[in-house]
Homo-oligomer: A and B are copies of this chain.
Amino acid sequence: MAETEPSLLVVSAHAGDFVWRAGGAIAAATLRGEKATVVCLSYGERGESASQWLAGKPLDEIKAIRRDEAAAAAGALGAQIEFLDLGDYPLLETPESIQKLVDVYRRVQPTVVLTHPLSDPYNGDHPAAARMALQARVLAQAIGVANSDGTYPTKDEIIGAPPVFFFEPHQPEQSDFKPNVLLDITEAFPLKRKAMECLPAQKHMWEYYTALAVRRGVQVKRNAGPNLGLPHDTMGEAYMRYYPQVTGVLE
């Protein structure tokens, strides 16, 4: 419906989240020649780097390792990446942090936004990131809300109302994650796999998320109907659309 150029924005609580959960959607976008930007709110330096802490590494080194890995993974997916370094465990929702995200929205002008779902009983940073992503999106729409530098946006700098999709949490049912969109990532999967392999510390996750892609792929086929001829090896990712879909065609 929109005339504007596609621009995908992914808001990730920690440095690795976007790879496991949305790597397919990101690669699918860049394979179509579209722009994709990942913003990592933190490096996951405290809560998701246990092996490095056990190895006795200092905080700064851990952050640098996580940053490099995430940058490599984003590169494999063909996406831009930026780091807000807001700290994790806990990720705090301050007005200043949200303001930084407002600036990102206005710069990136996303036509689609991906982030965590609003519930996750295993990790409070994930819903915090989602709340921040949603709040900043609304603030970025308002011409009366200033930028970080105190200037006010022009009419072109405020954003529209891009759809928001929540990507899959680690334990979907416990996080009230009921997918209403199943994305076919068959073609994009090799890039996602390559991106996963940029995260060597979580090698056991490579197989886990490959198996998940197979599982979601089976559901893609089930929900598309048997006679559509989807190939046997369809791979998938699951999403929850947050706002109603606007369309001219029911399909």
Contact = CB atoms under 8 A, between A and B. Distances in A.
Interface of A: 1-4, 6, 8, 25, 28-29, 32, 45-47, 49-50, 53-54, 59, 62, 89-90, 92, 95, 98, 111-112, 114, 121-124, 134-135, 138-139, 141-145, 152, 155, 159-163, 165, 170-174, 176-184, 208, 211-212, 214-215, 218-220, 222-230, 238-239, 241-251
Contacts of A114: 250
Contact of A246 (B25, B45, B224): B224
Given A45-B144, A144-B53, A182-B247, A138 B162 contact: no
B145 A47 contact: yes
Point out which of A134, A138, A142, A250 has the most chain B C-beta atoms below 10 A from its C-beta: A250
Counting every copy of the chain, the complex holds 6
7 contacts: A2-B225, A59-B144, A89-B139, A90-B95, A90-B98, A174-B179, A183-B250
